[in-house]
Amino acid sequence: MTEKMYGYFGKMLEIDLTDGEMKEIPLEKSTAQKYIGGIGLAGRIIYDNVPAGTDPLSPQNVLVFPCGPTHGTGVPWSNRWVVSALSPETGFWGRATSGGAFGPALKQCGYDAIIFKGKSPKPVFLHITEDFAELKDATHLWGKDSMEAEKEIRRELKDPDVRIADIGQAGEHMVRFAAVMDDMGRAAGRTGMGAVMGSKNLKAIAASGHLDVEVANPKELYKLIMGAIEFGKDGPIGAIFSRYGTGFAGVSGPLAGALFTTGKYWRESNPLKDKMDVALKMTNQYKEMFVNNFHCEYCPTGCGGVVSVNGQEMHRWEYEAGYTFNNCCMVFDTNYLAKANDLCNRYGIDVITGGNVVAFAMFAREKGWVSQKDTDGLDLQFGSGDAVLQMLHKIAYREGFGNTLADGILPAARRIKPGAEKYTVHCKGLPLGGWDPRAFAPMFISYGIANRGGDHVYGGMNGMMPYGFHLDKGKRMDPHSLKGAARGVLPNDSTIILFDTLPLCLFSMLLQPELLGAFLSAITGWELGIRDIFRISDRIRTMTRLVDCRFGCRKENDFVSMPFKAESSGYWLPKRKEIEKELEEYYHLRGWSKDGVPTMQRIQELGIENVKEALPTKSA
């Protein structure tokens, strides 16, 4: 019998979709203490269950929905949930996170993780409560978008409070950057987890859990919660995001993104420079379409928002949708931005990769690599909002030229023109987030070391801002230098891992690591100091790197592909040797080899067990 744990139910549910068999697997205390939950637990499960050579869209891939000890405890920002598998977009470690209320509801069904294996012979969805788990026929839901499916499942189950994560048509058609959606427009967007669900004929998970999560020290936890709530409401993030969302001034592309992202697919810096009339027009459009804000479960910030376009209400876009559709595609019309974001939510498309592949197609049209005939009659010119909307539809259904783009940025470029992949902007095959590394050079290292590819969060979302946030013992990092980048990126990387492991929304990012340890100690009863939680983070980082390395990831894959020179005085493009030096310094600090492979010595120091690969014994 599994030893009792506070903050956990001590069991996981494994479902073989091929035959519908379900079985409970114990979550041992030693595993929970080493990997906690979220991405940590997912990394361990993926490593143990997905062998080298696995096709990410085959039944042999494993799809994991790991919960965490904060879920169901009332800890602020503990709405965040994780989904993980081998990525069909990159071929490496895949994971995505979303908000809403699905994560806590899943945990309160009584499991610490749900693990899907195999492939169902027909479309199904999982209905799970604290009393039962059942696979139900989803044939009638197949073909519906994510919002239609969510409404239909709720009607069918006669449960208005059920929380649902599902896929739209992009996931069904295995678009390799398909998202998993929840709460009528929240997205676990990156690395194609929706495509993995589609490959397994899994349309949705409907969770309706109400079990209490027992904690070790309720009084201490309550005190910590109340302090964090006050911080969340009155702190700088709450003050800005609760009013405007992640777009700051409401128009995320022009007013926030123009500082760091580039127009015409990364080639034109600050596309709204000297065009403030356009930015003001979009700001006024936003004011007219704004309806209201909303909060995810347990969130004191409330960055979510609703807008109305021609009488139709939809989720307000996030920063990244603004960067891709405004700046990369040059569509400076807030109505089109809202519609493009809504289509991505309905079809289940990652807005970052989706916007980047459309922008690259526009770039290819401009270069003469594709004609209007090649693109099914669509005039894929920069600035065409109609072309963006129509191409998103074609991608979701893999229709015509949309099928060319549906496998991601590198396959699309190769199909458009042999050798065109050298003009793509990505890391490990994942398009970059809306933070241009040429504006803040340490982001070349931040993107490079991120375990899922072109990830703007790990190692750098805070650090890339050349104002306000300091790294490396309080010193501001030089935006035009890589000196000290590895040492500056590493503590940020380690801290963000903790947020995604508990898991907590990153908009609680101003919480100090000591407070994260205090939350975990109050929930579990484990005495965890700052050294303890960073050792856990180090273990998780190395564990997920082992997954990447199993599938061929080495130093060569950690270089950002940035083919376009900086044309602004504020931009700088470092030499490859400079990047390589800092990557190797990061590996050294992690205890990995010069090629980015964890050494057996470091694995043993971190207490990672059952490692099957032959690895270097010591770092060089």
Cα–Cα distance for residue pair 483/499, rounded to 1 Å: 27
State residue 275's pLDDT score.
66
pLDDT for the residue numbered 463? 46
Is-contact 390 378, C-beta < 8 A?
yes
What is the per-residue pLDDT across 487-521, written as a single tens digit (0 to 9) for each? 888 888 898 999 999 999 987 766 778 889 999 99
pLDDT band at 255 (very low <50, low <70, confident <90, very high): very low
- Banded pLDDT at 252 (limits 50, 70, 90): very low
H or E stretch covering 14: strand 11-16
Q: Find the mean pLDDT for residues 119-127.
A: 98
Residue 253 has pLDDT above 60, yes or no: no
pLDDT-based confidence at 271, cuts 50/70/90?
A: low
In this predicted structure, what is the pLDDT of residue 254? 43
Which three-class secondary structure string do you get for 17-71? CCCCEEEEEECCHHHHHHHCCHHHHHHHHHHHHCCCCCCCCCCCCCEEEECCCCC
Mean pLDDT, residues 111-118: 98
Q: What is the pLDDT of residues 325-363, one digit of tens each?
A: 988 999 989 999 999 999 999 999 999 999 999 999 999
pLDDT band at 473 (very low <50, low <70, confident <90, very high): low
Q: Which two tokens stand for residue 12?
A: 């996981």
pTM of the predicted model over 0.85: yes
| Chain mean position to CA 269 | 26
* Residue 513 neighbours by CB distance under 10 Å: 16
The band of 12, judged by pLDDT with boundaries at 50, 70 and 90, is very high
When the pLDDT of each residue in the chain is averaged and rounded to a whole number, the result is 90
User: Does residue 469 have a pLDDT over 70?
Assistant: no
pLDDT of residue 471: 47
| Most confident region among 246-260, 348-362, 465-479 by mean pLDDT | 348-362
Across 146-162, average pLDDT = 96
The b-or-e profile of 587-599 (16+ CB within 10 A means b, else e) is beebbbbebbbbb
High-pLDDT (> 70) share of the chain, %: 90
CA-to-CA distance for 124 and 202, rounded, in angstroms? 5
pLDDT at 7 > cutoff 90: yes
